[in-house]
């Protein structure tokens, strides 16, 4: 029995076909028995080297085809050196990447899709303070010559959960990240991020909805943005589009800010805003290199309107902030945060912390603002702010408008100019503040230029009068609050007044004309002409002492002596009158003004009840300092005024008093 032709001779006659068949058989065997996990050590080594920390993979698989899919399951990413050995940065339940083989023929790595599921992370600083989420990335300006250009067609994220902790930021919150939208391969789902926890020790909730992660690349259609975040009492609402998200260029975004106080924005912006009443501001947000701008905004701060522009230039040391602000109408109480007074506003609109602060201020026996000025915040940014308010309103406010230019450089503060209008006159000041270990070193010069006395008196609600005031005040002190600065400061206060009239209530109280005082207190005014007022106070270590305090009126000459302790906030003044006409109710006794700034007392001095000629004697003592003030008086009020005549009159009366024996 003969056999057919053997395989050996056939293979010798057709070697090419035999080789192809063998290759196909081997390929089938490889496909049937190949385990892609054999490549895991190589992949893990490459990933660990790229990320700078240990990476392990639970399972590695490949689905072969024209668009092969490489999938890795149970990926664990360790922490960098310095962290506990078995701690993790995070893990990924499944990572699947689809590759376009045709792109490889053109030396391009085209990933048609990337799917990421069940990603978890614990983002926190290490023992040395370095965050574990900082991963070294190759310099994009010097790419590897062996690398291929990378493009990604679609990115889908499912159930990403990351826990963020940073003690420096007093932050502990959880972020969830996923994509939502059509599941087709040609579509790009939206990115949805939520956050919940605490930031800056305040509760935070946030929700961000943006376009596809892949559409973040420049040159595409405008990238849609929606953000709604609440941090404590502050709410941020941002919506619009950005043409180039990677560079924040071409932004058309509307920003809505509201909260209990602008000071709460410090944690979100790094800008040390002052404490304010509740606010609501709405405007546009964009980026003009190198500054972010919140511009064309309008809104309310307390009962005051506010508009303008705020720009911030980020910096590695501290941000640079410039602002141009404007108010058509401002309530004086809303400016309290700028000088360290208690937070204004109705109690029902304040946060629990603000209510406690307001209650503390009202219950405190202190009259001068004693809220500490936050020096660390002042050094956290360089600031240049121009502010103007057209009209100032408020109880007991004689001011018409305000203009201010505030500059902070390296923590040193300069306010120049700072002007308030009072009728046809103005109060102009220059203030500098320099941080010191003991607080702030403050220096201020204030000029009073033709100030309308009628406006000042009307603001008290008790006294009435008219006239023109000029003068100057100077302060040089160091402290942690306004009260400490003036309570330990040095300086002077000189105020002069000419013409007009002054309520007889002041003179009558000094001369104990009880009937007229009662009528005046009941709102039945009795005006008296004012020829001149001269006052000169010296401030030495918080003690404000009267060197000259003199009023020349149609009814009496009023002379004051004594001092005010700005540290203890106590009064120790005595007023003596020399009536120019006889009054039945007049008693020849000085008046003592004592008590505290918050609760002053006015009463006759029983020890000097029968003293006569007191005013003339005091005028004699004041003759020398009063004469020394003549050049300053003439500079502030002009050479032709009644104060010059008053000085000459004082000289005559003083000489007459010195020639008469004391009773």
pLDDT of residue 327: 92
Long-range contacts of 393-397, Cβ-Cβ distance < 8 Å, separation of 24 or more? 393/329, 393/330, 393/331, 393/332, 394/331, 394/332, 394/333, 396/459, 396/460, 396/461, 397/332, 397/459
Q: Which helix (H) or strand (E) holds 516?
A: helix 514-521
Of 279 and 455, more confident? 279
Closest CA to 471 of 500, 492, 488: 492
**Residue 248 is assigned to a structural domain of this protein:** no
What average pLDDT does this structure show over 276-289?
92
Where do the DSSP E strands lie in 394-456? Answer: 402-409, 412-422, 425-436, 439-452
Binned at pLDDT 50, 70 and 90, residue 552 comes out as: confident
Query: Same domain for 615 and 540?
Result: yes
- The answer to whether 396 and 460 have CB atoms below 8 angstroms apart is yes
Query: Same domain for 315 and 348?
Result: yes
pLDDT of residue 584: 42
Query: How far is C-alpha 344 from the chain's CA centre?
Result: 16
Of 606 and 229, more confident? 229
> What is the domain range of residue 298?
260-422
Closest CA to 452 of 507, 499, 403, 404: 499
Which of 397, 422, 447 terminates a domain? The answer is 422
Q: Could you report the per-residue pLDDT of 387-430, keeping only the tens digit for each?
A: 999 888 766 566 778 899 999 998 889 999 899 888 778 889 99
Of 336 and 378, more confident? 378
Which of 422, 456, 483 terminates a domain? The answer is 422
Closest CA to 386 of 357, 354, 419: 419
Which of 422, 443, 460 terminates a domain? The answer is 422
Task: Please give the Cα distance from 508 to 526 (Å, whole number).
Answer: 10
Q: What is the SS3 string spanning 272-324?
A: CCCCCCCEEEEEEEEEECCEEEEEEEEEEECCEEEEEEEEEECCCCCCEEEEE
**With 60 as the cut, is the pLDDT of residue 139 above it?**
no
- Mean pLDDT of all residues belonging to the chain: 78
Share of the chain above pLDDT 90, in %: 28
Query: Same domain for 396 and 533?
Result: no
**With 60 as the cut, is the pLDDT of residue 6 above it?**
no
Tally of helices (H runs) and strands (E runs) in the chain? 14, 32
What average pLDDT does this structure show over 239-265?
88
Q: Which helix (H) or strand (E) holds 353?
A: helix 352-363
Q: What's the structural domain count of the chain?
A: 2
pLDDT of residue 28: 62
**Residue 16 is assigned to a structural domain of this protein:** no
Task: Please give the Cα distance from 237 to 223 (Å, whole number).
Answer: 17
Closest CA to 76 of 123, 124, 132, 121: 121
Query: Same domain for 509 and 382?
Result: no
Q: What is the SS3 string spanning 557-600?
A: EEEEEEEEECCCCEEEEEEEEEECCCCCCCCCCCEEEEEECCCE
Q: What residues have CB less than 8 Å from 232, skipping those under 6 apart?
A: 200, 202, 203, 204, 259, 260, 264
**Residue 247 is assigned to a structural domain of this protein:** no
Write phi, then psi, for 223 (nearest 5 degrees): -85, 120
Query: Same domain for 361 and 449?
Result: no
Query: Same domain for 508 and 416?
Result: no
Burial letters for 396-422: b for 16+ Cβ neighbours within 10 Å, e otherwise? eebbbbbbbebebeebbbebeebbbbb
Query: Same domain for 274 and 415?
Result: yes
Task: Please give the Cα distance from 555 to 583 (Å, whole number).
Answer: 10
| Residue 468: how many other CB atoms lie within 10 Å | 23
Task: Please give the Cα distance from 313 to 646 (Å, whole number).
Answer: 59
**Residue 208 is assigned to a structural domain of this protein:** no
pLDDT of residue 68: 87
Task: Please give the Cα distance from 416 to 405 (Å, whole number).
Answer: 6
**Residue 212 is assigned to a structural domain of this protein:** no
Query: Same domain for 524 and 439?
Result: yes
Binned at pLDDT 50, 70 and 90, residue 523 comes out as: very low
**Residue 543 is assigned to a structural domain of this protein:** yes
**Residue 281 is assigned to a structural domain of this protein:** yes
Task: Return the minimum-mean-pLDDT range out of 186-190, 530-534, 581-585.
Answer: 581-585
Query: Same domain for 405 and 445?
Result: no
Task: Please give the Cα distance from 354 to 346 (Å, whole number).
Answer: 10
Query: Same domain for 546 and 615?
Result: yes
Q: What residues have CB less than 8 Å from 451, skipping those under 6 apart?
A: 422, 423, 425, 426, 427, 468, 469, 470
Closest CA to 609 of 508, 512, 513: 512
**With 80 as the cut, is the pLDDT of residue 657 above it?**
no
**Residue 398 is assigned to a structural domain of this protein:** yes
Of 56 and 369, more confident? 56
pLDDT of residue 613: 46
Task: Return the minimum-mean-pLDDT range out of 120-129, 146-155, 193-202.
Answer: 146-155
| Residue 592: how many other CB atoms lie within 10 Å | 20
Q: Which helix (H) or strand (E) holds 470?
A: strand 465-479
Strands 190-199, 304-313: pairing kind: unpaired
DSSP category for residue 457:
H
Query: Same domain for 561 and 615?
Result: yes
What average pLDDT does this structure show over 556-565?
83
Query: How far is C-alpha 528 from the chain's CA centre?
Result: 48
Task: Please give the Cα distance from 396 to 459 (Å, whole number).
Answer: 4
Task: Please give the Cα distance from 53 to 133 (Å, whole number).
Answer: 11
Query: Same domain for 442 and 528?
Result: yes
Q: Can you tell me which residue has the tokens 């919506």?
A: 239
């Amino acid at each position: 029995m003969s056999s057919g032709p053997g395989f050996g001779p056939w293979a010798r006659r057709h070697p090419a076909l035999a080789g192809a068949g063998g290759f196909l058989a081997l390929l089938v065997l490889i496909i049937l028995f190949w385990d892609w996990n054999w490549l895991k050590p190589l992949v893990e080594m490459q990933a660990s080297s790229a990320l700078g920390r240990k990476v392990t993979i639970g399972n590695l698989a490949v689905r072969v085809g024209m668009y092969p899919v490489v999938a890795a399951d149970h990926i664990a990413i360790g922490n960098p050196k310095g962290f506990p050995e078995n701690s993790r940065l995070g893990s990924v339940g499944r990572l699947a990447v689809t590759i376009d083989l045709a792109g490889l023929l053109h030396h391009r790595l085209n990933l048609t899709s990337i799917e990421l599921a069940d990603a978890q992370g614990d983002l926190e600083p290490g023992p040395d303070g370095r965050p574990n989420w900082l991963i070294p990335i190759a310099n994009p300006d010097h790419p590897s010559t062996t690398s291929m250009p990378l493009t990604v067609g679609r990115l889908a994220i499912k159930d990403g959960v990351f826990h963020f902790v940073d003690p420096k930021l007093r932050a502990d919150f959880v972020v969830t990240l996923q994509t939502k939208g059509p599941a087709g391969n040609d579509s790009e789902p939206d990115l949805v991020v939520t956050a919940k926890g605490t930031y800056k020790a305040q509760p935070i909730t946030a929700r961000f909805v943006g376009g596809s992660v892949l559409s973040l690349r420049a040159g595409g259609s405008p990238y849609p943005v929606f953000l709604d975040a609440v941090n404590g009492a502050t709410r941020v609402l941002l919506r619009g589009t950005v043409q180039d998200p990677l560079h924040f260029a071409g932004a058309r975004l509307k920003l809505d800010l509201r909260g209990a106080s602008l000071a709460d924005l410090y944690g979100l912006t790094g800008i040390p805003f002052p404490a304010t009443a509740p606010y609501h501001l709405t405007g546009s947000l964009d980026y003009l290199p190198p500054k972010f701008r919140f511009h064309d905004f309008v809104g309310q701060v307390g009962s005051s309107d506010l508009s303008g522009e705020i720009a911030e230039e980020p910096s590695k040391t501290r941000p640079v902030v410039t602002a141009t602000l404007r108010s058509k109408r401002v309530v004086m109480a809303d400016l309290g945060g700028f000088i360290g007074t208690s937070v204004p506003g109705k109690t029902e609109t304040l946060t629990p912390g603000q209510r406690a602060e307001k209650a503390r201020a009202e219950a405190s026996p202190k009259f001068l603002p004693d809220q500490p000025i936050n020096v660390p915040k002042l050094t956290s940014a360089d600031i240049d702010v121009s502010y103007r308010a057209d009209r100032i309103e408020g109880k007991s406010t004689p001011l018409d408008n305000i203009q201010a230019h505030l500059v902070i450089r390296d923590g040193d503060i300069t306010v120049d100019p700072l002007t308030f209008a009072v009728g046809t006159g103005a109060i102009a000041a220059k203030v500098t503040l320099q941080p010191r270990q003991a607080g702030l070193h403050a220096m201020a010069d204030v000029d009073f230029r033709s100030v309308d006395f009628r406006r000042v008196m009307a603001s008290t609600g008790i006294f009435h009068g008219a006239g023109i005031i000029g003068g100057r005040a100077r302060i040089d002190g160091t402290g942690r609050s306004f009260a400490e600065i003036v309570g330990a400061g040095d300086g002077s206060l000189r105020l002069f007044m000419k013409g007009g009239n002054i309520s007889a209530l002041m003179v009558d109280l000094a001369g104990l004309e009880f009937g007229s005082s009662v009528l005046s207190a009941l709102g039945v005014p009795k005006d008296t002409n004012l020829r001149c007022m001269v006052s000169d106070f010296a401030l030495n270590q918080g003690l404000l002492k009267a060197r000259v305090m003199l009023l020349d009126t149609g009814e009496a000459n009023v002379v004051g002596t004594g001092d005010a302790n700005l540290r203890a906030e106590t009064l120790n003044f005595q007023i003596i009158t020399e009536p120019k006409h006889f009054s039945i109710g007049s008693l020849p006794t000085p008046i003592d003004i004592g008590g505290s700034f918050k609760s002053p007392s006015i009463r006759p001095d029983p020890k000097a009840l029968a003293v006569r000629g007191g005013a003339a004697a005091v005028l004699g003592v004041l003759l020398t300092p009063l004469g020394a003030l003549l050049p300053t008086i003439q500079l502030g009020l002009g050479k032709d005024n009644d104060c010059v005549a008053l000085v000459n009159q004082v000289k005559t009366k003083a000489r007459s008093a010195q020639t008469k024996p004391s009773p």
